[in-house]
Amino acid sequence: MCVKDGLSIHNNAKIQNDIKNVRLFRGLEMKHNCPKKSQYLSGKRILPQPITGNYSVTDLIEKTFNAYNAGRIKDACQLITNEYSKKDVTVGMSLAGALTPAGMASSIVPLIEHGFVDWIVATGANMYHDMHHTFNLPLYEGSPNVDDCALRQAGVTRIYDVLFDYEDVLMETDRRLRIILTRKEFQKEMGTQEFYHHLGKIMNETEEEDKLGKVGILASAYRAGVPVFTSSPGDSTIGMNVAGLQVLSDKFKLRINPSIDVNESTAIVLNSKIYEKGKTGVILVGGGSPKNFMLQTEPQIQEILRIKEVGQDYFIQITDARADTGGLSGATPKEAVTWGKIDPKEVEKSVVVYTDSTIALPLITSYVMQNTSPKKLKRLYDRKDELIEKLRNSYFENFKKSALKEMSRLVELLNKN
C-alpha cells in the first residue's frame, strides 16, 4: 500500500471524504440549494432621515424604528394591524407587572373599546390597583431614590417611582372593597370571570357618578363584555380581603374556584378555533402566571379535552425576561410550539419585544388607534354559558372517542368515592 506524508492512500481518501461530508453538512458546498442573495436583501432600506416636529407616532415607528427592539415594536404594530384587526381573530391580553399603578389603563382601555382585546388574564394586583383610579384615590409620580424607612414612617407606599398614601389609598381601597364584597351577588362560589364582572359593574357606576373619565380597566371590560380572569386569585390584596372576610363570618359565602376559570378561558379559545373556524392571537404584556394561564388553553384543548388542535395563531409578547434562565416569562414562542401552545406554521410571525412594557405598550396602542378601524365587540362574557356548554359537549364526545375505557374507569372511581 502506498504511503504519502505518513498516511496511506486509503486513509487519506477517507479523510478527504469525511471533510467533504462536513462541508456539505455545513452548507459550504451547497450553494445551489441556498436562497438567492436578493431574498435576504429584500427588506426596507435603512436610510436615515431627520425626525421633524411634525412626526406622528405612526411616522416615528414606520420611519425610525428600523432595528433591534425598536424594529420588534414596529413588527408588533404591523402584526396587530394586519392580522389582529380581522373580525374572525379573537385576541387575548395578559397583564403582569405593576401596570395599573403606572397608569397603563390609558393604553389598555382604548384597545378594549376599539375591539382589539376580547378577553384578559391579569394579576390580582393589577386589578386591585386599578380600583384606586376609579375610586379617585391619588397615586403620584415620585422617585426611586428615596429613603424607604422614612417613607414607612411617613405612611407612604412605594412601587418603584410611584408613591401613594398608605392610609388614604391602600387602606381606603380595602375598606371600600370589603363593603362591596358583602353584597348579595358575591355570596356564592364563582370563578374570577364572574367575580370581576360584578366588580366591574360597580366600578363602571363609580366612574359615571364621579365623572372621572374612562380611568379603569375593570369598568371598561364590564362595558365591553370582556371577560377578565386572574390565574392566582389568592395572590393579591383582593384575595387577601376575600380570605379575611371568610375568617370574619360564616355568612360570607364567596369562594373563588380556579377550575371554573380554567374551563371558561379554554371555552373561549375552543369556540373561536373549533366552532367558529376563526383564529386567535395573544398580546402578552409581561410574563408570569397570566402568560401561562392564557397560553395553557391550547394544551387544555389538546391534552385534556382530546380535541385535535394546533395552537394559537398569533403571538406578541413584551418582556424583559431572558429565555436562558428557564422561566416561563422568558420562554420563546418557538419553545411554546413544543407544548402545543403556538401553531408551528405561524410561529415565524411571532414577535417578542425585549423592553419595558410602559415604553412599548403606549406606542403600540397609539399606532393601532391611528391605523385601524374599530372592530365589532365580541362581548364574550355575555356568551359564557353557551361557550361552557360547547366545551362540555366537546369534552364528552372526544374523550369517549379516544379513551372510552379511561372515561368509564374515572366515572366508576368517582362514583365509588
Convert the pLDDT of each residue in 11-53 to its tens digit: 566 656 665 555 554 554 445 567 788 889 988 999 999 999 9
Rounded to whole angstroms, the Cα distance separating 283 from 20 reads 47
Cα separation, 336 vs 276, in Å, equals 24
Residue 6's pLDDT band, with cuts at 50, 70 and 90, is: very low
- What cell numbers appear for 218 in the block? 375593570
State the pLDDT at residue 20: 59
Does 74 have pLDDT greater than 50?
A: yes
Residue 374 or 18, more confident: 374
d(C-alpha 162, C-alpha 349), whole Å: 36
Which pLDDT band, with edges at 50, 70 and 90, does 1 fall under?
Answer: very low
The more confident residue out of 11 and 296 is: 296
Beta bridge partners, 391, equal none
Q: How many residues does the chain have?
A: 417
- Lowest model confidence (mean pLDDT) among 10-14, 118-122, 248-252, 325-329: 10-14
Give the per-residue SS3 of 128-179: HHHHHHHCCCCCEECCCCCCHHHHHHHCEEEECCEEEEHHHHHHHHHHHHHH
Asked if the model's pLDDT at residue 161 lies above 80, the reply is yes
Nearest of 157, 224, 169, 188 to residue 379 by alpha carbon: 224
The C-alpha atoms of residue 177 and residue 186 are separated, in whole angstroms, by 12
Residue percentage of the chain with pLDDT more than 90: 82
Identify the pLDDT of residue 196. 98
Global pTM?
Answer: 0.89
Average pLDDT over residues 84-96: 98
What's the pLDDT band for 188 if we cut at 50, 70, 90?
very high
Q: Which residues are catalytic?
A: 341
DSSP state of 122: E
Look at residue 5 in the predicted model and tell me its pLDDT: 45
Amino acid letter, residue 147: D
Task: Report the pLDDT averaged over residues 149-170.
Answer: 98
400 has a pLDDT exceeding 90: no
Residue 31 confidence (pLDDT): 52
Cα–Cα nearest to 82, from 361, 377, 346, 381 = 346
> 38-42, 88-92, 161-165, 342-346: which range is least confident on average?
38-42
Tell me, letter by letter, the H, E, C secondary structure of 278-342.
CEEEEEEECCHHHHHHHHCHHHHHHHHCCCCCCCECEEEEEECCCHHHCCHHHCCHHHHHCCCCE
Please say if the pLDDT value at position 104 is more than 80. yes
Cα-flanking dihedrals φ and ψ of residue 7, to 5°?
A: -120, 140
- How remote is the C-alpha of 300 from its chain's centroid? 17
Nearest 5°: CA angle at 214, between 212 and 219?
110
Architecture of domain 57-397: 3-Layer(aba) Sandwich (3.40)
